[in-house]
Chain A
Amino acid sequence: MDLKDKLISSFMAFEDNVDVEHPVHDVRTEAIKNFEHKGFPSKKEEAWKYTSLNSLQKIDFSIFPKQENAIEYKDVKKYFIHEIDTYKIVFIDGVYSSHLSETTHDGVDICLMSSALTKPMYKQIIDVYFNKVASNDESLTTLNTAFSREGAYIYIPKNKMPKKPVEILHFATGNEASIMLQPRNLIIVEENAEVQIIERHQSLTSNDVLTNSVTEIFAAESAIVDYYKIQNDTANASLIDNTYVDQKGKSHVKVHTFSFGGKLTRNNLNFFQNGEFMDSTMKGVTILGEKQHVDHHTLVHHIEPNCESHQDYKGIYGDSSTGVFNGKIIVDKIAQKTNAFQQNNNILVSDKATINTKPQLEIFADDVKCSHGCTIGQLDEEALFYLQSRGIPKKEARALLMYAFANNVLESVRIPELKTRINKLIAKKLGVNLGFDL
């Protein structure tokens, strides 16, 4: 049985475990119909031209974890930003781990989607926000919607800010062969409120893991959201990340994506600007080797006037790795005075590495500033010689140049300990110890 059939036939079993009377279940039912109709995207579709899900669909994934698996904190401590105090929402094989988590209801809600989707006290909010910005058309998103049950739920009321950043961690233990996970996150940041979130998916197994995640983020007027995605998973772990951001006026939302690992990673990052005087920022550092594949698909839809968007993606591709950047910007006719900036720079450090980069601008307004640029190059030999002539060995010199190339993306990371961690991951990925704190 292929994965699509397996998922569809599993839906009935899934229904045994959720409240089918809850209005959310109507959304799920509709979604599974959509998925059944569309199936997995194929390479024939323009948006999936360079990313094939075929081989993943041949793997016999377990759809539901059969038991709760325990992990000791000491064994996974390194995956947390443990240098600082954080709220933690932790899942093991898709199941919430109270043991590893630290949630709160103290002025803000940092807790579980399963609670939000079932408890009456959240019903009003779920009615207003659940599946309201996520696509009902994109098949992988609808697949996630159909099976939406668990994930992170974060609600920050007006003028509030949690005392510390929030970490969302998903571990896959592989205790029962290959596993498919479908976390569903809902993040609501009310007027003038603020939150910082760090998300990571980590496999602890050599078995295959496929995560199809959907995150909906609602940023109200003047809200500030900083979202950091650390993608440094193992060689058998694949991730399809579908993130949808609904922004209101004067809000600031930044999503940083650090892609250093995994087998196949697809980031579908969608911003909808429903208001004026806001900005949306998408930044990414991608450093790949071996046969890794990362596909960044971004969309910014400028719906109202006087807004900004900034995209800056840097990629370094070695070995036989492949990368894709597809940045779509839509500027509606009334969205005058839009300032949209997009930049994608890549370095190929191997003859076998590939990058496909494509800006896609659809501009219907006439008084806008939209700039885009993409470059694909090699390391500057003259710069390499310059560093070597100062006694820096070739390998370190190359790493230093690659680091320098990616560096400006890190400037906007506002959690210093996270920045240090990313720097260390970069140094490790580049295979060097540069001897100073980058």
Chain B
Amino acid sequence: MLIIKDLHAQVEDKEILKGINLKVNAGEVHAIMGPNGSGKSTLASVIAGKEEFEVTKGSVSLEGEDLEEVSPEERAHKGVFLSFQYPVEIPGVSVTNFMKTAINETRKAKGLEDMPANEMLKLIRDKSELLEIDRKFLSRSLNQGFSGGEKKRNEIFQMAMLEPKVAILDETDSGLDIDALRIVANGVNKLKSKDNAVIVITHYQRLLDYIVPDFVHVIHDGKIVKSGTKELALELEEKGYDWLKQEAAV
């Protein structure tokens, strides 16, 4: 579904990704781990199409289509979703209106009419229940004054609304207490199917107890230095990253 080949990316002449290779099939959950500054979030942003990063070599393709010339919004229309590590606060635009705009713009791009209002309301109701989101929350300005947990829950709510093919969760667990973590993970698990894929970026094993990965990859200095199954995450939890850094240096 998502194939990343020898991906190199830089920002302001500083190379951050130095040859990432990754193949994600439908129905799979991949975890990407690694120390701070290793390039995890950059990889997420590059997949979502952030223009600040320049791809100097390699490619990202979704269902066989190279995404190089594809804008962030078109990537979203094709089914790429990024749950932000730091969701942006947008005062003056309610969660509901934001989702309506996002859904209808996506439909427009596919040549569809706007979603009828009653259908939209039902969808919002169903998906907000999935994430245990209070109705009042939906009329608040997007992310403004939200707690860390509320922001992340809101991200997964958006994912539920947009039903992406590939969802990248960038440190969705950071800033979450154990209850919120359970709700968010539960939401992701319910959205998982044989037709979509999830990439979980995290520092810690904790989230992976709830969202169980099929594969675990470790990024260090812009490259995947080790891949394995979920047991690798447990090993990292126990031993830290240093042994991998040393291994990579050899």
Chain A positions near chain B (C-beta within 8 angstroms): 380-383, 385-394, 396-397, 400-401, 403-408, 434-436, 438
Report if B112 contacts A (CB, 8 A): no
Assess the A396–B93 pair: CB atoms within 8 A.
Answer: no
Assess the A403–B92 pair: CB atoms within 8 A.
Answer: yes
Report if B250 contacts A (CB, 8 A): no
Report if B88 contacts A (CB, 8 A): yes
- B78-90 near A? 1/0 per residue, CB < 8 Å: 0011101001101
Assess the A392–B102 pair: CB atoms within 8 A.
Answer: yes
Assess the A400–B87 pair: CB atoms within 8 A.
Answer: no
Greatest chain B CB density within 10 A among A397, A405, A436 is at: A436
Chain B residues whose C-beta falls within 8 Å of the C-beta of A383 in the assembled complex = 88, 90
A388-B72, A389-B48 known; A408-B88 Cβ under 8 A = no
Q: How far is the CA of A407 from the CA of B90 in the complex (A)?
A: 11
Chain B residues whose C-beta falls within 8 Å of the C-beta of A392 in the assembled complex = 73, 101-102, 105
Report if B215 contacts A (CB, 8 A): no
**Chain A, residue nearest B78 (CB):** A391
Assess the B77–A391 pair: CB atoms within 8 A.
Answer: yes
Contacting A408 at CB < 8 Å: which of B92, B101, B105?
A: B92
A388-B72, A394-B71 known; A400-B88 Cβ under 8 A = no
Assess the B92–A391 pair: CB atoms within 8 A.
Answer: no
Chain A residues whose C-beta falls within 8 Å of the C-beta of B106 in the assembled complex = 391
Chain B residues whose C-beta falls within 8 Å of the C-beta of A405 in the assembled complex = 92
Chain B residues whose C-beta falls within 8 Å of the C-beta of A397 in the assembled complex = 73
Chain A residues whose C-beta falls within 8 Å of the C-beta of B103 in the assembled complex = 391
Q: How far is the CB of A333 from chain B (nearest CB, A)?
A: 38
Assess the B88–A388 pair: CB atoms within 8 A.
Answer: no
Report if B158 contacts A (CB, 8 A): yes
Chain B positions near chain A (C-beta within 8 angstroms): 48-52, 71-73, 75-77, 80-82, 84, 87-88, 90-93, 97-98, 100-106, 108-109, 114, 141, 158, 162
Contacting B76 at CB < 8 Å: which of A390, A400, A406, A435?
A: A390
Which 3 A-B residue pairings sit nearest by Cβ, starting from the closest? A407-B92, A404-B92, A391-B76
Q: How far is the CA of A388 from the CA of B75 in the complex (A)?
A: 9
A388-B72, A390-B162 known; A435-B101 Cβ under 8 A = yes
Chain B residues whose C-beta falls within 8 Å of the C-beta of A436 in the assembled complex = 97, 100-101, 104
**Chain A, residue nearest B102 (CB):** A390
Assess the A389–B72 pair: CB atoms within 8 A.
Answer: yes
Assess the B100–A385 pair: CB atoms within 8 A.
Answer: no
Assess the B73–A393 pair: CB atoms within 8 A.
Answer: yes
Chain A residues whose C-beta falls within 8 Å of the C-beta of B97 in the assembled complex = 436, 438
A391-B105, A435-B100, A436-B97 known; A404-B73 Cβ under 8 A = no
Q: How far is the CA of A400 from the CA of B75 in the complex (A)?
A: 20
Assess the A404–B93 pair: CB atoms within 8 A.
Answer: yes
Chain A residues whose C-beta falls within 8 Å of the C-beta of B73 in the assembled complex = 388-394, 397
Q: How far is the CA of A403 from the CA of B87 in the complex (A)?
A: 19
Given contacts A385-B72, A408-B91, A436-B104, 6 further A-B contacts (CB under 8 A): A383-B90, A386-B84, A389-B48, A396-B101, A396-B105, A435-B101
Q: How far is the CA of A401 from the CA of B75 in the complex (A)?
A: 20
- The binding surface of chain A is classed by DSSP as helix
Chain A residues whose C-beta falls within 8 Å of the C-beta of B141 in the assembled complex = 404
**Chain A, residue nearest B80 (CB):** A389
**Chain A, residue nearest B72 (CB):** A388
**Chain A, residue nearest B75 (CB):** A389
Q: How far is the CB of A411 from chain B (nearest CB, A)?
A: 9
29 contacts between A and B (CB under 8 A): A382-B88, A383-B88, A383-B90, A385-B52, A385-B72, A386-B87, A387-B102, A388-B72, A389-B48, A390-B76, A390-B102, A391-B76, A391-B105, A391-B106, A392-B102, A393-B73, A396-B101, A400-B101, A404-B90, A404-B91, A404-B92, A407-B91, A407-B92, A408-B91, A435-B100, A436-B97, A436-B100, A436-B101, A436-B104
**Chain A, residue nearest B76 (CB):** A391
Q: How far is the CA of A396 from the CA of B65 in the complex (A)?
A: 25
Q: How far is the CB of A437 from chain B (nearest CB, A)?
A: 8
Chain A residues whose C-beta falls within 8 Å of the C-beta of B105 in the assembled complex = 391-393, 396, 435
Q: How far is the CB of A38 from chain B (nearest CB, A)?
A: 43
Q: How far is the CA of A149 from the CA of B97 in the complex (A)?
A: 49
**Chain A, residue nearest B141 (CB):** A404
Q: How far is the CA of A303 from the CA of B191 in the complex (A)?
A: 63
Q: How far is the CA of A104 from the CA of B103 in the complex (A)?
A: 49
Assess the A385–B90 pair: CB atoms within 8 A.
Answer: no
Q: How far is the CB of B18 from chain A (nearest CB, A)?
A: 23
Q: How far is the CA of A391 from the CA of B158 in the complex (A)?
A: 11
A435-B114, A436-B97 known; A391-B90 Cβ under 8 A = no
Q: How far is the CB of B99 from chain A (nearest CB, A)?
A: 8
**Chain B, residue nearest A435 (CB):** B104
Q: How far is the CB of B32 from chain A (nearest CB, A)?
A: 18
Q: How far is the CA of A194 from the CA of B227 in the complex (A)?
A: 73
**Chain A, residue nearest B79 (CB):** A391
**Chain B, residue nearest A438 (CB):** B97
Q: How far is the CA of A390 from the CA of B141 in the complex (A)?
A: 16
Assess the B91–A390 pair: CB atoms within 8 A.
Answer: no
Assess the B48–A391 pair: CB atoms within 8 A.
Answer: no
Q: How far is the CB of A53 from chain B (nearest CB, A)?
A: 36
Chain A residues whose C-beta falls within 8 Å of the C-beta of B162 in the assembled complex = 390-391
Q: How far is the CB of B73 from chain A (nearest CB, A)?
A: 5
Q: How far is the CB of B5 from chain A (nearest CB, A)?
A: 22
Q: How far is the CA of A396 from the CA of B105 in the complex (A)?
A: 9
**Chain B, residue nearest A393 (CB):** B73
Q: How far is the CB of A400 from chain B (nearest CB, A)?
A: 6
**Chain B, residue nearest A406 (CB):** B92
Q: How far is the CA of A150 from the CA of B105 in the complex (A)?
A: 50
Assess the B102–A391 pair: CB atoms within 8 A.
Answer: yes
Chain B residues whose C-beta falls within 8 Å of the C-beta of A394 in the assembled complex = 71, 73
Chain B residues whose C-beta falls within 8 Å of the C-beta of A396 in the assembled complex = 101, 105
Contacting A386 at CB < 8 Å: which of B88, B92, B101, B114?
A: B88
Q: How far is the CA of A396 from the CA of B50 in the complex (A)?
A: 17
Chain B residues whose C-beta falls within 8 Å of the C-beta of A393 in the assembled complex = 71, 73, 105, 109
Q: How far is the CA of A397 from the CA of B84 in the complex (A)?
A: 17
Q: How far is the CA of A386 from the CA of B45 in the complex (A)?
A: 10
Greatest chain B CB density within 10 A among A390, A392, A394, A400 is at: A390
**Chain B, residue nearest A397 (CB):** B73
